[in-house]
Structure 1
Amino acid sequence: MLKKLKIAVLLLLVAFQYVQAQKSKRLNADWEFVKQDLGGIWEAVRPVGKGNPEELPFWQKASLPHCFNAVDAVDPDVHYYQGAGWYRTNLDIENPYANGRTLLHFEGAGQKTQVYIHTTKVAEHVGGYDEWTADITDAVAAFKKSPLFKTQFKGKVPVIIRCDNSRDLEMMPSSLSDFNVYGGIYRYLNLVYNPQLAIDKVFAHATVDAKGAQGNVTVKARFLNQDGLKDANVKISLVDPSGKIVFNTNKNITSFSGDELLAETNLKSPKLWSIETPQQYEVKISVTANGQTYLTTQKIGFRHFEFVKKGPFTLNGKRVLLRGTHRHEDHAGVAAAMTEEMMITEMKMMKEMGVNFIRLGHYQQSRIILDLCDSLGILVWEEIPWCRGGLGGAVYQAQGKRMLTNMIEQHYNHPSIIIWGLGNENDWPGDFSEFDKEKIRTYMKELNDLSHKLDASRSTAIRRCDFCRDIVDVYSPSIWAGWYRGNYTEYKDVSKGEFDKSERFLHVEWGGDSHARRHSENPDNALAKIKVGVGADERAGDASLYGGGARVSKDGDWSESYMANLIDWHLKEQETMPWLTGTAYWPFKDFSTPIRPENPVPYVNQKGVVERDFTKKESFYIFQSYWTDKPMAHIYGHSWPVRWGAEGEEKMVKVYSNCDEAELFVNGKSFGMKKRNSQDFPAAGLRWLVPMQKGTYEIKVVAKIGKVTVTDEITQEYQSEKWGKPAKLVLQKISEADGVATVEVKAYDANNVLCLDAANEVKFNLIGDGELIKNQGTSTAASKVQLYNGRAVISLKTNSQKNVVSVSANGLSTEFLTIEK
């Protein structure tokens, strides 16, 4: 109940802060959609109560936000759709302001968008991640004068929107990117009523010295004044985090061109925004002109940050180790069309894991996310989608500058943002016949200068383009120790070498893939094949599962067990690197990608610490054990039902905890108390060797910090029989509730011994009136998936009917299971 209340409060806070105008409504319901192009706009027109007699019956009901790659992005049998999609609805539009303006405010739609009122095109936009508005005032007024308005459309206004994510080399981002270039109205769309005079953007700039003694606020605004009004009254209040008004001003203005300075004030010892206490002030603005009033509220925060030259990162005068991760706008079943509730859940999970920094990759993201970072105390690197492919021509370069301008101007007020990212992997050619480093450097300098012109208070950064490292304020090289190159034990030395080459160093993107629910008794075996001392950077072809030199990404087992060791090593090393500004693990959540069809879950980048549906992997708790203060303890192996080895062999049981000490109990017997030491790898010394025989093991840990005690428990089987190669598949139902049945397939050898290292790719199918829950991009909701320790599960909606589930694998007989109604 308390958790639901907290989420509801966050929703209200985000919704309140988000209000930009006097009247605004989200247009979520009553849409229709078609996933193809049309012959012309007339085909999309839909009178109320009847269809166009020439219309094909292919429109389907939809609600916004909506992504037309919600399912096909991870369908193993197709390449995701890239083309046009159309949306339509009929709206009641009645602006309450005399001579006011009516807008459609897009929070983001991909990738090219056209807006029509009836058959009149009123706006178009290129760029899938910008906020932008379409002024539909005149077109609505014209349509209301048409006889169609009252006869065929019964007083409603037809709104039709075409989105297009077709491949286009002269558009950012490149389709070579390791993420889907989605299509659709995948962020919220708002109907906005403005008075005659309104504010387009507010630039509320808060600064404070490193000691927190003196703060300053300037408030500028850019107005919407289509009718050329000559004067207005402006009232501005500054409200501190406790609700106290600390500044008021009331003035008349007669100039509305450019960005007008509305107010400036100083504050002694302002309450600071920090990671622990993200206190925010409110700037409340009232603009009255011609008898109409426009209201808006913006939140700001006072904080002082610095990337110290050849040193660490400081916030409000104190060193802070940036403990970061990354976010893609992507989720099971909806792709980019994440709801506000989903976003809140995701960001709260990051905070729960101990994150204090996030890089938004590789494009500007929803204002909702930034509002959450502001309120949760998470610092932000936000970037434009100049990602891979090289450098295009004039149209391409203009889009990059336009998106950088939009990102900075639209997100200027957020105290969480400390870095504007200018690009990612811009040393990665492929889209153009020419790859000219000097031209890339020239363009990078132009972006860097533009960023500093628009916002001199924040740093600029790029990742992985060594020949541009000297241009930006902060540079992140490519370091994938233990995954794409080298051994994870080389991480500190490689990082120090890169630090020494940079004026200001920050390491974003590290980690590796793990197939959720796959575990290993010998996870580091692949390291014996790996060359050390050759660097740890990612190079051409490293993401491939074939060819090239030995590397864990190709030759490893992709187990959660290996990734646990890699992450554990990195985190314990980061505690002993006093010069380190910080790092960001890549990424927080698994996400879909068009360039990885042969991964264990096809078309999914599986480097996340949670799955695409928020299911936590074991690594989530390793981060918690290093990064959080709330007492926790987690026994490794909650998703590892069967371990294996010889009779009496000692097996390591690892516990990840931030407590001072922990005691392990196995089948009720104590195996002793251990003290936590972060430098005692693995598991910070909280590990026990337990001799195991065939049978069932109840494992419990009791951990203590001060007077607080926390516990965790798991049950595992131990298998001592050896097995040969898989000879058959066995399919059975393991649960059913609320009309959803879950089935599990297991691989056995010729002697009916479970093959616990089997990683065969299996494919599920269904015959009947039910529906497989598939194409979610997770290890338990994919029709094609690699086994994890000789098993895999999938669920189906039975629809109260008889269904037959099948599972097949190359070289093995197909198995069938009947699910009775």
Structure 2
Amino acid sequence: MFKSIFVYFISLLFIHSSYSQTQLFNQDWEFVKDIDTAINPTLFERNSKVVWQKISIPHTANIEPIEKVKQQWQGIAFYRKFFTVSATEKGKHLAFKFDGAMQEADVYLNGKKVLNHKGGYLPFYVNVTDGINYGSENVILVKLNNQDNPIIPPGKPIADLDFNYYSGIYRNVWFIKKNQLHISDAVAANRKAGGGLLVHYENVTSSSATLTLQTEVENGGDLERTASIRTKLFDPNGKLVASNNVPIAIDIRENDFELFTQVIEIQNPQLWSPNLPYLYTLKVEVLENGKVIDTEQIKTGIRSLKIEASALTLNGEKIVIRGTNRHQEYPYVGNALSDQAQYRDAYKIKQAGFNFVRSSHYPHANSFLDACDELGILVMDAIPGWQFVGKEAFTENSYQDTRDMIRRDRNHPSIIMWEASLNESGMSKAYMKKTHQIVHEELPFNDTYSAGWIDDAYDVFLPARQHGKYPVYWKNYQKNKPLLIAEYGDWEYYAGNAGFNQKEYQNLNKEEKSSRQLRAFGQKRLLQQALNYQESHNDNLNGKAIGDANWLIFDYKRGYADDIESSGIMDIVRLPKFAFYFYQSQLNPNLKGENEFNKPMLSIANYWSNIGDSTVKIYSNCEEVELFLNGKSLGKQKPDQDKNSNNLKHPPFTFSINEFTAGTLTALGFINNQEVIKQVVKTPEKPVKINLRVDFSGKNLKAGTNDVVFVYAEVLDANGTIIPAANHSIEFELQGDAENIAPKLVKAEAGIATILLKAGNKPGKIKVTAKSEGLNQAQLKIKSVKSN
């Protein structure tokens, strides 16, 4: 079976490559920054006085320290690549597509400027058909400027911004070779509800669904031609499940386009949902005189969606959004993440128990959305914006961002809302009306929903919790409009104006009350962060909101502050805090083991190292938990019943202990009176050794793609317990085709030192060694795999 599927898809790839190619164009680039910014002939010459660095894409123009020492680098950077196009390609449509480059790009081909693009988060398309030297060397040069620019959203100067947007050609580059008669690019076409493929499903049930497919075919030649469309839908095993049997031919005039609309009935569809993210492959072919001359192939999910004031229903079933926010940055490399690293972030969001993510506050990488499709994570796509409204040019660019975001992302089954709103910005009524209108112009369907933080023109109202007043917040919202609490759990506690119910809260200083807690701040403050999220999430469930999204999943750096914004339930190197396990515990367990993310879980939120500890908090989705101290049972309990737990699916378990005794805590989780999970925590002793581990999160390290993974060096005692107070300096050494992006010497935080390891171009074995004075060193062997 596997062999037949493999042969099938290899044959598809071969057929595709015989008449059109979309080639990843990431290798063999050159880069330079901080030079004279004037465009001159030497920039296009191989033997110039400029010293160019050989690099590959994705790339950041400046490696940034993990902690904010100074403001992120801003300036002018140049990227160039020499390449040759065979004379046999003459007469084809040739183009480059850049998925993301920060933030204003001037593109030159063979010394001639061919494009200026403003905006760092969305793709741009460069048609180079008329500028290529066939059979001889060409050079493409990109001048990038990521300096503050008030007409390019988000527009606000980095020094005043609540995130960083970094630098470089930080997403994939593609070289496209097609017949002049071809399926157009949706962003490049720049037509309302036009360009490329537009997929929509109607009348969706488990018995049948109707696929309406619009395909725009462009004729870039100077003669009228006749095209027809053939469409096939395959299941994950490569089996054909639906197709159009009678292709209709249409004449397309020179330098013009036509829209082909097809309606295809699908019998017994498997529907896409967060619990079962089933994806089909849709293949669309352009034919001329019966011969295939172009093709597009995308993953697609069949689902129905309805968002009302009372509920969100997917495939006819009510779903409560349990979500988070995400900034896309990594330490050191900024936003320059490989496709695999994007997937790993989505994997962690799913692992944490969330079914929804908000792409705050800009469009995230297409590969991240692909991962959300594959893993089953609902998405709200967002245009760039935060606490800034510019003048007319800014507004026009923001309108274009709204259109380009939808055109790029409209076929993702995971996307359920479009945040066409400048977050926390004083938008005019005209702006809100226009962006709402754009959403519905681009997607003229009944299941299209705009969203915005001001309760005005948009279909869905997106307040942050702190935008309401204590103690009601949004519980008494009266309008007949869907309400999604888009942020909660951070600012209310950080600002200290929330007036909450916690008896624990009253006796804490300001730093301890906050949800902004690094792992190094210790058990007490990490428990408080988790309690803040528990309290606010529980409170949100009192109202009519269709769901909520906490602020946020990962720690990140900001332009306007010197410290890391640490309200993430994982830190900036993707290590979990106690709050991570609180959210994970809200997933119902699946005892059949059919889903790797819905398993019984249990986590003891206690290091058992503090004399004076009188309580042990346990997060679990089990029905009962029994706790043992040094082999003696402290009782079996059901979940907590208090004012911070009354709306939760699975409240925590709190055990009171008369006296701290060093040793071993053992917790057993029970469902239907059967033990299903166990965890052991031991009092940390003297540090003696290092343990190394790597975080793959569902994707192996891939060579030749600038892929990066986190490698963790844990400081352990003789029992294998991490020492939470350990701050040893760990020295890392690598052997093999890989690079350590972090410093060679890294100080442990809460017992763990972390590096960011980047795979080289050759697949194979990589050996990591970690050592520190007074500790037994550790070695770890990692294998990078071949790029497809």
TM-score by length of 1: 0.74
Q: What residue is the counterpart of 1:262 in the other structure?
A: 261
Which digits, 9 at most, give the CA deviation of each residue in 1:136-155, with x for residues without a partner?
A: 232222xx58xxx5xxxxxx
Q: Distance in 1 between matches of 2:569 and 2:663?
A: 28
Q: CA deviation at 1:589?
A: 1.6
- Write the letter of the residue equivalent to 1:159: I
Q: CA deviation at 1:193?
A: 0.9
Q: What residue is the counterpart of 1:725 in the other structure?
A: none
Q: What residue is the counterpart of 2:681 in the other structure?
A: 714
Q: Distance in 2 between matches of 1:621 and 1:687?
A: 14
Alignment pair present for 1:506 and 2:491: no
Q: What residue is the counterpart of 1:496 in the other structure?
A: 475
Q: Distance in 2 between matches of 1:616 and 1:609?
A: 6
- Write the letter of the residue equivalent to 1:651: S
- Write the letter of the residue equivalent to 1:193: K
Q: What residue is the counterpart of 1:812 in the other structure?
A: none
- For the Cα contact (< 8 Å) 2:604–2:679, is it kept in 1? no
Q: What residue is the counterpart of 1:661 in the other structure?
A: 624
Q: CA deviation at 1:795?
A: 7.5
Alignment pair present for 1:623 and 2:604: no
Q: CA deviation at 1:348?
A: 2.0
Q: Distance in 2 between matches of 1:631 and 1:222?
A: 44
Which digits, 9 at most, give the CA deviation of each residue in 1:78-113, with x for residues without a partner?
A: 211111111122223337544002211111111011
Q: What residue is the counterpart of 1:808 in the other structure?
A: none
Q: Give 1:160's match in structure 2, choosing from 108, 131, 141.
A: 141
Residue 509 of structure 1 aligns to a residue whose secondary structure is coil
- For the Cα contact (< 8 Å) 1:231–1:252, is it kept in 2? no
Q: CA deviation at 1:312?
A: 1.9
Q: CA deviation at 1:179?
A: 1.1
Matches within 5 A, 1:277-676: 277-289=276-288, 293-309=293-309, 311-389=310-388, 391-427=389-425, 440-457=428-445, 458-463=448-453, 468-480=454-466, 490=471, 493-497=472-476, 499-501=477-479, 503-512=481-490, 526-528=505-507, 552=514, 559-573=525-539, 579-597=544-562, 599=563, 604-629=564-589, 630-637=598-605, 640=607, 642-645=609-612, 651-676=614-639
**Residues 185 and 802 of structure 1: CA distance in aligned 2, closer, same or farther (over 3 Å):** closer
- For the Cα contact (< 8 Å) 1:32–1:89, is it kept in 2? yes
**Residues 781 and 279 of structure 1: CA distance in aligned 2, closer, same or farther (over 3 Å):** farther
Deviates more, 1:187-196 or 1:116-125: 116-125
Residue 565 of structure 1 aligns to a residue whose secondary structure is helix
Q: Distance in 1 between matches of 2:119 and 2:281?
A: 31
- Write the letter of the residue equivalent to 1:307: I
Q: Distance in 2 between matches of 1:764 and 1:642?
A: 22
Which digits, 9 at most, give the CA deviation of each residue in 1:458-499, with x for residues without a partner?
A: 111112xxxx41211111112149xx986xxx5xx42313x3
Q: Distance in 2 between matches of 1:553 and 1:659?
A: 26
Q: Distance in 2 between matches of 1:244 and 1:124?
A: 43
**Residues 795 and 250 of structure 1: CA distance in aligned 2, closer, same or farther (over 3 Å):** closer
- For the Cα contact (< 8 Å) 2:94–2:175, is it kept in 1? yes
Q: Distance in 2 between matches of 1:568 and 1:211?
A: 36
Q: What residue is the counterpart of 1:751 in the other structure?
A: none
- For the Cα contact (< 8 Å) 2:619–2:651, is it kept in 1? yes
- For the Cα contact (< 8 Å) 1:103–1:192, is it kept in 2? yes
Deviates more, 1:623-632 or 1:255-264: 255-264
- For the Cα contact (< 8 Å) 1:678–1:685, is it kept in 2? no
Which digits, 9 at most, give the CA deviation of each residue in 1:159-210, with x for residues without a partner?
A: 2222211111121112333111222110011111111111114333323347
- Write the letter of the residue equivalent to 1:462: G
Q: Give 1:103's match in structure 2, choosing from 83, 95, 102.
A: 95
Q: CA deviation at 1:334?
A: 2.0
- For the Cα contact (< 8 Å) 2:31–2:54, is it kept in 1? yes
- For the Cα contact (< 8 Å) 2:730–2:746, is it kept in 1? no
- Write the letter of the residue equivalent to 2:171: R
Alignment pair present for 1:689 and 2:656: yes
Which digits, 9 at most, give the CA deviation of each residue in 1:369-400, with x for residues without a partner?
A: 222222222221101103221x2222211111
**Residues 718 and 696 of structure 1: CA distance in aligned 2, closer, same or farther (over 3 Å):** farther
Matches within 5 A, 1:214-225: 215-225=209-219
**Residues 641 and 305 of structure 1: CA distance in aligned 2, closer, same or farther (over 3 Å):** same
Matched pairs, number? 692
- For the Cα contact (< 8 Å) 1:196–1:227, is it kept in 2? yes
Which digits, 9 at most, give the CA deviation of each residue in 1:392-434, with x for residues without a partner?
A: 222211111111111111212222211111124343xxxxxxx
- For the Cα contact (< 8 Å) 1:694–1:717, is it kept in 2? no
**Residues 227 and 765 of structure 1: CA distance in aligned 2, closer, same or farther (over 3 Å):** same
Q: Distance in 1 between matches of 2:207 and 2:490?
A: 44
Q: What residue is the counterpart of 1:232 in the other structure?
A: 226
**Residues 440 and 41 of structure 1: CA distance in aligned 2, closer, same or farther (over 3 Å):** farther
**Residues 397 and 713 of structure 1: CA distance in aligned 2, closer, same or farther (over 3 Å):** same
Residue 428 of structure 2 aligns to a residue whose secondary structure is helix
Residue 121 of structure 1 aligns to a residue whose secondary structure is strand
Q: Distance in 2 between matches of 1:596 and 1:689?
A: 40
**Residues 500 and 362 of structure 1: CA distance in aligned 2, closer, same or farther (over 3 Å):** same
Residue 236 of structure 1 aligns to a residue whose secondary structure is strand
Q: CA deviation at 1:220?
A: 1.9
Q: Distance in 2 between matches of 1:162 and 1:658?
A: 53
- Write the letter of the residue equivalent to 2:240: G
Q: CA deviation at 1:574?
A: 5.4
Q: Distance in 2 between matches of 1:95 and 1:341?
A: 35
Which digits, 9 at most, give the CA deviation of each residue in 1:683-714, with x for residues without a partner?
A: 82522122334633344434445656111111
- Write the letter of the residue equivalent to 1:68: A
- For the Cα contact (< 8 Å) 2:629–2:663, is it kept in 1? no
- For the Cα contact (< 8 Å) 1:633–1:703, is it kept in 2? no
Q: CA deviation at 1:74?
A: 4.1
Q: What residue is the counterpart of 1:431 in the other structure?
A: none
Which digits, 9 at most, give the CA deviation of each residue in 1:323-376, with x for residues without a partner?
A: 111222211332111111112222122222222211111112222222222222
**Residues 801 and 208 of structure 1: CA distance in aligned 2, closer, same or farther (over 3 Å):** closer
Residue 643 of structure 1 aligns to a residue whose secondary structure is coil
Q: Distance in 2 between matches of 1:743 and 1:359?
A: 32
Q: What residue is the counterpart of 1:251 in the other structure?
A: 248
Residue 285 of structure 1 aligns to a residue whose secondary structure is strand
Q: Distance in 2 between matches of 1:426 and 1:575?
A: 23
Q: Distance in 2 between matches of 1:615 and 1:703?
A: 27
Residue 217 of structure 2 aligns to a residue whose secondary structure is strand
**Residues 218 and 65 of structure 1: CA distance in aligned 2, closer, same or farther (over 3 Å):** same
Q: Distance in 2 between matches of 1:377 and 1:765?
A: 38
Q: Distance in 2 between matches of 1:708 and 1:529?
A: 37
Which digits, 9 at most, give the CA deviation of each residue in 1:198-235, with x for residues without a partner?
A: 11143333233476676433222233322144223323
Alignment pair present for 1:68 and 2:61: yes
Q: CA deviation at 1:320?
A: 0.8
Matches within 5 A, 1:42-81: 42-47=41-46, 51-52=47-48, 54-55=49-50, 57=51, 59-69=52-62, 71-72=63-64, 74-81=66-73
Any stretches of 5+ residues in structure 2 without a counterpart?
185-194, 495-501, 590-597, 694-710, 717-722, 758-766, 778-788
Q: Once superposed, what is the RMSD of the aligned Cα atoms?
A: 4.6
- For the Cα contact (< 8 Å) 1:208–1:302, is it kept in 2? no
Q: What residue is the counterpart of 1:27 in the other structure?
A: 25
- Write the letter of the residue equivalent to 2:182: A
Residue 139 of structure 1 aligns to a residue whose secondary structure is coil
**Residues 485 and 616 of structure 1: CA distance in aligned 2, closer, same or farther (over 3 Å):** farther
- For the Cα contact (< 8 Å) 1:73–1:180, is it kept in 2? no
Q: Distance in 1 between matches of 2:153 and 2:670?
A: 50
